């Protein structure tokens, strides 16, 4: 890919004026959606469990399900968890390792992967946009919590380079490339719908105000809604988008699945209160399909085959969050815990779902202030089934 094709921030198309979002009554029979609340949530119990299992003393985050490699996404997730737990000492260790080992020479973005025990642990200097967004989001919250000017300055630098290197104008919309290199083809783009991290766009807009953060959010919601396939109309892990006009398609070179990448689409839609996103409802309906003994770990979007095993704790956490965001309430006790996660990625999804649950201030069903009551879902049995403690 040639970066000359990318359109730098000042020349991006004008972002659309934000439209007023409808509540869930517009898409789910009158149920009331949740919206994120202001302020920083604190995670006093689960962060120590995550830190003990996956963060080394020098600040490297271990992907225990992938040969103990490290990557910018994992470093960014740990940074966010640390700042939410008000653990500045660990935050600074993780940030120091990240910036020392993964820093790219030409911008403020990060190389995407570190492989221990190899001759060149950082052999590919391409970035991963989701990882950069996570790091910049965490830096923004660190600046707001601790008043550290250096954290704010680095978040701004990363935000500028993200807009410059991975944001592309296409017609009247803008798209987010998964990395600065390798995803721009002569006749199409390769995109990952789960890289549109809605809360990160909003955080960066606080330190680097630009209408393009909102435009990216709207573009991501629209992409996830348009790029749905198979029996359950689910978003895939990877999609192609034709240059110019045309509909998204399943990307060659990756399994045509709703799986570990795409599970973050409903996570970020729920976290952002975007219950108007069709992909959020599709995911909940897939997970609650009565034909499943338990929600499958993946679905093939060409053949409609499903995994012969259920999703892990991380996927179940996202399922619970997605359901609660649509219904307007949920049982926090049913959220999986870090201790039940088999590896780093599942534990990360558990932690992110817990943070989102707190940010959305999800009330318990039937509690004062919980709107509506559980009885209000009588016409939505797929929601009631997820509320039941006996579901699993």
- DSSP readout, 29-86? TTPPPP-PPSS----SSHHHHHHHHHB-TTSPBPBTTTTTBEEHHHHHHHHHHHHHTT
Task: Compute the distance between CA of residue 254 and CA of residue 281 in angstroms, rounded to an integer.
Answer: 24
Task: Compute the distance between CA of residue 152 and CA of residue 170 in angstroms, rounded to an integer.
Answer: 30
Query: What are the contacts of 362-369 at 24+ separation with CB within 8 A?
Result: 362/34, 362/324, 362/325, 362/329, 362/330, 362/332, 363/328, 363/329, 364/329, 364/330, 364/331, 364/332, 365/329, 365/330, 365/331, 366/329, 367/329
| Residue 353 · residue 345 · CB < 8 Å | no
Residue 130 catalytic? Answer: yes
Residue with tokens 């749905």: 228
CA atoms within 13 A on the CB side of 10: 0
Residue 73 catalytic? Answer: yes
Choosing from 46, 63, 87, 130, the catalytic residue is: 130
Of 105, 106, 167, 101, the closest CA to residue 133 belongs to 167
Choosing from 46, 63, 73, 205, the catalytic residue is: 73
Active site residues: 73, 130
């Amino acid at each position: 890919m040639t970066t000359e094709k990318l359109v730098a921030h000042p020349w991006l198309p004008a972002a659309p004026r934000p439209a007023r979002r409808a509540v869930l009554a517009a898409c789910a029979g009158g149920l009331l959606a949740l919206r994120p609340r202001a302020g920083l949530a604190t995670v006093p119990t689960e962060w120590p469990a995550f830190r003990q299992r996956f963060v080394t003393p020098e600040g490297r985050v271990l992907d225990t399900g992938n040969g103990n490699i490290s990557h910018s996404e994992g470093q960014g997730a740990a940074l966010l968890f640390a700042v939410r737990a008000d653990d500045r000492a660990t935050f600074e260790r993780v940030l120091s390792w990240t910036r020392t080992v993964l820093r790219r020479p030409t911008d403020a973005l990060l190389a995407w992967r570190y492989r221990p025990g190899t001759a060149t642990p950082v052999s590919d200097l391409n970035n991963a946009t989701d990882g950069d967004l996570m790091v910049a989001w965490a830096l923004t919250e660190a600046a707001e919590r601790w008043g550290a000017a250096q954290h704010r300055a680095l978040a701004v630098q990363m935000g500028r380079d993200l807009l410059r290197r991975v944001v592309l104008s296409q017609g009247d919309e803008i798209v987010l490339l998964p990395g600065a290199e390798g995803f721009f083809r002569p006749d199409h783009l390769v995109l990952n719908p789960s890289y549109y991290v809605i809360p990160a766009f909003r955080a960066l807009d606080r330190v680097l105000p630009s209408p393009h953060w909102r435009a990216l959010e709207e573009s991501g919601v629209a992409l996830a809604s348009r790029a749905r396939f198979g029996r359950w109309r689910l978003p895939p892990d990877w999609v192609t988008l034709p240059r110019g006009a045309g509909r998204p398609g399943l990307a060659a070179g990756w399994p045509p699945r709703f799986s570990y990448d795409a599970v973050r689409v409903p996570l970020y839609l729920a976290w952002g209160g975007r219950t108007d996103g069709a992909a959020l409802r599709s995911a909940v309906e897939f997970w609650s399909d009565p034909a499943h003994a338990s929600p499958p770990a993946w679905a093939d979007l060409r053949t409609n085959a499903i995994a012969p095993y259920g999703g892990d704790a991380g996927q179940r956490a996202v399922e619970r969050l997605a359901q609660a965001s649509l219904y307007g309430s949920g049982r926090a006790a049913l959220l999986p815990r870090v201790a039940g996660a088999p590896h780093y990625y599942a534990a990360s999804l558990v932690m992110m779902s817990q943070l989102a649950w707190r940010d959305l201030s999800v009330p318990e069903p039937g509690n004062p202030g919980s709107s509506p009551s559980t009885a209000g879902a009588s016409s939505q049995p797929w929601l009631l089934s997820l509320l039941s403690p006996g579901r699993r």
